[in-house]
Amino acid sequence: MNEPNALAWDAPSLADAYRGRFRVGAAVNTWNLDPASEACAAILRQFDILTLENESKPMYVQPEEGHFVFDKLDRFAAFGEAHGIDLRGHTLVWHGQVPMWFFEGEGGAPASKDRLLDRMRTHISTVVSRYRGKIATWDVLNEVLRDEGGLRESQWYKIAGRDYIPEAFLAAHEADPDARLLINDYNLESSEAKADTMISLVEELRGEGIPLGGVGLQMHLSLFTDLDLLRKNVHKIADLRKIDPALRLEATELDISCYRFGDTAEDIDWTPEIEADFRAKYTEIFRVLCALADEGALDTVVFWGLSDAVSWLNGFPRRHRNYPLLIGRGWRVKPAFYDVLALAGNKEA
């Protein structure tokens, strides 16, 4: 607690500190890109890769069939270009934040498989081709697995079966052959069954010649995350590079909640004990990320949000005050920020 807690735009830059090892980024919203804003100052200082938190999801990009809305994504793309910041596209196919028309057929019946796959391909090719060369990485598929292992029984799956998975990658690859195409999911760190399903799915897809570029580990963690299990699972996933050394992992949505998932306790007080635990957890996680980077498996780490003040975890899975990021309320970086910064210089980490 004794370190000076600078404002995010005055503090040393995490992106600079980790350059050459991995890119460091955050999920943002386009209103954060206003050059006069504090958010923008924090972004330009701290990060060299960005994801849109919500505005590139299908419900915003194609709210009605054939009606594409690109103003936010255009703004994002222009910002990346103007500042030399890499951009991630999130996301093309997900069961969440997707308009229901995708799944609807005539007269209230569900869409046929062909119709759904056509709509999916049109969405993917329209969006990906527009940002070809500008958005270099896409979370093509988001959260298609079940926590207990196996494929999630989403509307996508119920109508199209497993086929929507390879078809999504094929459509994205056709629209931008140079883009890195990821399959992104949560709890890969904490569910062995889910990690195993991911590994066999990627093996199968590569075996079928599907142009998949790697796996996104969302890394929505908590102070209760089992680190031994996390290490085991992420290294197992990183071993996929034995079948294809070009595959990459990205940490796509990193945050560390101080609540156990589903915890109904009242808001916690930020005690010195919790702070110590938080610092230790972030340090360990960055050690794991550095180890993955140093073996060539991972090159990107993105935080889910700019600061504690705006983190989605203040409202999910229930409303409570949370503290999951390295930049706190009031834009002050935390002691854990300096721990993570110091680790960057330590190749032995």
Closer residue to ligand XIL in complex, CB, 111/325? 325
Catalytic residue among 53, 55, 189, 253: 253
- How far apart are CB 88 and ligand XIL at their closest, in Å? 11
Instruction: Spell out, one character per residue from 12 to 51, where the chain touches ligand XIL: x when CB under 6 A holds, - when not.
Output: ----------------------------------------
**Does 189 help bind ligand XIL (rule: CB under 6 A)?**
no
| Contact yes or no for 128/80 (Cβ under 8 A) | no
Between the two ends of the chain, the Cα-to-Cα distance in Å is 22
53 labelled catalytic: no
Which residues touch 116 (CB under 8 Å, ≥6 apart)? Answer: 102, 103, 156, 159, 160, 164
x/- contact string, 293-332, with ligand XIL (CB under 6 A)? Answer: -------------------x--------------------
CB 238 within 8 A of CB 188: no
Residue with tokens 């594409």: 68
Distances in Å between the Cα of 225 and the Cα atoms of 157, 178, 219, 316, 318 are: 30, 35, 10, 17, 19
Over the window 87 to 126, marking each residue x when it contacts ligand XIL by CB under 6 A and - when it does not, the resulting string is ----------------------------------------
Question: Residues 137, 142, 187, 307: which binds ligand XIL (CB under 6 A)?
Answer: 142
Q: How far apart are CA 14 and CA 38, in angstroms?
A: 17
Question: Of 184 and 290, which CB lies nearer to ligand XIL in the complex structure?
Answer: 184
- The phi, psi pair for 127, rounded to 5°, reads -75, -50
Q: Which is nearer to ligand XIL, 46 or 142 (CB)?
A: 142
Among 191, 218, 225, 307, binds ligand XIL (CB under 6 A): 218
Q: How far is the CB of 341 from ligand XIL (least distance, A)?
A: 25
| CA gap 214, 211 in Å, rounded | 9
Q: Provide the minimum distance between the beta carbon of 131 and ligand XIL in the complex, in angstroms, as a whole number.
A: 18
Question: Residue 81 catalytic?
Answer: no
The CB-of-253 to ligand XIL minimum distance in angstroms stands at: 6
b (16+ CB within 10 A) / e for 307-322: bbebbbbbeeeeebeb
Q: Which helix (H) or strand (E) holds 238?
A: helix 227-238
- 53 interacts with ligand XIL by CB under 6 A: yes
Judged by beta carbon, residue 60 or residue 312, the one nearer ligand XIL is 312
Distance of closest approach, residue 228 Cβ to ligand XIL, in angstroms:
24
Q: Shortest approach of ligand XIL to residue 206 CB, angstroms?
A: 23
Q: Does 250 bind ligand XIL (CB under 6 A)?
A: no
Provide the 10 A C-beta neighbour count for residue 136: 17
Residue 191's CB is within 10 A of a number of other CB atoms, namely 20
Minimum distance from residue 2 beta carbon to ligand XIL (Å) = 33
For residues 37 and 35, give the distance between their C-alpha atoms in angstroms, rounded to a whole number: 6
> Binding-site residue total for ligand XIL (CB under 6 A)?
6
Identify the active-site residue in 53, 55, 143, 167. 143
Which residues in the 54-73 window bind ligand XIL by CB under 6 A? Answer: 54
The one-letter amino acid code at 116 reads: L
When asked if residue 253 is in the footprint of ligand XIL (CB under 6 A), the reply is yes
With a CB cutoff of 8 Å and minimum separation 6, the contacts of 236 are 195, 196, 199
Q: For ligand XIL, which residue has the nearest CB? A: 312
Q: Are 320 and 314 in contact (CB under 8 A)?
A: yes
Q: Where do contacts with ligand XIL occur on this chain (CB under 6 A)?
A: 53-54, 142, 218, 253, 312
The residues annotated with a catalytic role in the active site are: 143, 253
